[in-house]
Structures are given as C-alpha cells and as structure tokens.
Amino acid sequence: MAIRQLRFRDDEILRKKCKEVSLVDDKIRQILDDMMDTLHHTENGAALAANQVGILKRLIVIDYCNYYYKLINPKI
C-alpha cells in the first residue's frame, strides 16, 4: 500500500469527469487499498474520492466508525 498525494481545490483534475470502472482487477484493488491507506493517514478524514488523489476513476472510500467502505461506480 502507498499513501498518495492529495489534490486540493485549485487542482484542475478535480473539475474533470471521472471514468466508469468497467472491470475490477488487481490495479483497481491496489488503487482502493492506496486510497484507504491515504485516508487513514489524513487528519479527520471521513471519505476520499479517486480524483482527490489524481485518478480519474469512479471510486470512493469511506471511513465510518473505523470500518472502511469501498464504492465502485457510486451513484447519488
């Protein structure tokens, strides 16, 4: 696992459309693991979207009461 660099408000990647994940393979699993590791090491972080670590994929990880949820292609 790796801690990825966070992107902030003025980063252009945060305004780009993320792509749908069509296949959950080892690469996607590694990205999700890295995102969980990154979220765990942030101060007061509750959730993290893939574009916040520079990846234009529809992925989110959520920390709720120290239980991690991995969302792939979430819809509101």
Range of 54's domain? 12-72
Has residue 4 been placed in a domain?
Answer: no
Has residue 6 been placed in a domain?
Answer: no
Has residue 19 been placed in a domain?
Answer: yes
Has residue 5 been placed in a domain?
Answer: no
Predicted TM-score (pTM) of this structure? 0.91
With CA atoms as reference, report the closest residue to 16 among 61, 62, 63, 49. Answer: 49
Model confidence pLDDT, tens digit, residues 27-61: 999 999 999 999 999 888 999 999 999 999 999 99
Residues in contact with 1: Cβ distance below 8 Å, sequence separation at least 6, in sequence order: 33, 34, 36, 37
Mean pLDDT, the chain, whole residue set: 95
Has residue 17 been placed in a domain?
Answer: yes
Determine the straight-line distance between the first and last CA of the chain, rounded to whole angstroms: 29
Instruction: State residue 19's pLDDT score.
Output: 98
Has residue 52 been placed in a domain?
Answer: yes
Are 56 and 63 contacting, i.e. CB atoms less than 8 angstroms apart?
A: no
Give the CATH number, domain containing residue 57: 3.90.45.10
